[in-house]
Structure formats: structure tokens, C-alpha cells
Amino acid sequence: MMSLPVWLDLFATAVFAASGALAAAGQRQTFVTFCFFALVTGVGGGTVRDLLIGVPVFWVQDWRVPVICISAAFAIWFTPARWWQGRALDWFDAAGLAAYAVFGAAKTLGLGINPISAILMGVITSCVGGIIRDVLAGTPSIIMRPEIYVSAAALAATLFVLLVSMGTPLPLAGLIGAAAGFGLRALAIARGWAIPPYNR
């Protein structure tokens, strides 16, 4: 069974959890809410993925995941607010988006599931946590805005799957896919790139 290093999954969980805690900070919520936002954002996409592909939900099986989520909430709560001003939430989210897109696709491929479904599971893994976070925070969901977001996740997952199918070593394919997805999302954040909306 193919697999990427576990640290990639834990890294993605940590940065997504941090983005959830930052959303709670923006709402000036309590520490309990910080922890809840961090947890559901960190594990939301992976939970949906695992339920769809019929495997045990990853964070129920690995105690490190909820600990990492709560630790991210602690880190945001106890550090100066000025550290997280500006677009910190967007940058944490971009890093988690790219890493989770690749990890979700790799886990699905490793179970013998077809490449198209693997790409879709990569997108679901990387996007659903952020959607849940936005809904809980009462802010317009990222997918309801014309920003390049799902497209960046799709780029990361698709490139990874294509490279693996061509025989590229798994770690290298993962690195290239994640870098491409993060790069596209980073340019969208920095330059305000967006997908043209329907205007008829």
C-alpha cells in the first residue's frame, strides 16, 4: 500500500487546525470555541474522505491528531494577536490545502481506488475542513467566493496522481504536487486572482 510520510498528514492537520483557531480569534470567542474550531477544521475533510472510501476515520485511530489540533488552539490563544494579523488565516489555510490534497489522493490511491476518485478525494480532504470552519464562523464560505481555492487543491491532487502514474517516486510526486497547489493559492492570495463568475 502506497503511503506518504505520516508527518505530512500531521503537518496539514496542524496548519488547518491553526486556521480554525484563527477564525475563532477573529470572532473573539472563548478558548473552548478555539479548540472546537481547531478540531473540526483539522479533521473535517479527512473524516468525510474516510467515510466515503469506507475506512476507519483517521483521527479516531490516532490520538496524535486531536492532540495536535488542541495544541494549535493553545498556540493561537497564548501568542500575541499581532502575530496573526493580516492574512495569516489565508496562509495557514493555503499550506494545509496543498498538503491535504496530496495526502488525501495518496491514501485513496493506496487503497486501490481509481485515479479520478483519488483526485476527488484529495480535493474533498483539503476543502471540507475550511468549509466547515467558515460555516461555523458565520462567514461566507470560501467556495462561494470567486477566489482560486478548490482549483488549487485540484491542481495539487491531479499533478500528484499523474506523476505517480508515470512512475515518479512518491515523495517527489507529493512534493511537486503540494508545491504547485500552494504556489497557485499563494499567487491568488498575493495578487487577488479569481475565477470569473457567471455573468449572463
Q: pLDDT tens across 126-181, in order?
A: 999 888 888 888 887 777 777 788 999 999 999 999 999 999 998 899 999 999 99
Which of the two residues, 92 and 46, has the higher pLDDT score? 46
Cell of 9: 498528514
**Count of H helices and E strands in the chain?**
8, 0
Q: How far is CA 97 from CA 78, 123, 167, 181, in A?
A: 25, 8, 24, 8
- Residues 107-127 have a mean pLDDT of 94
Calculate ∠ Cα 185-33-58, nearest 5°.
Answer: 60
First to last CA, the chain: 48
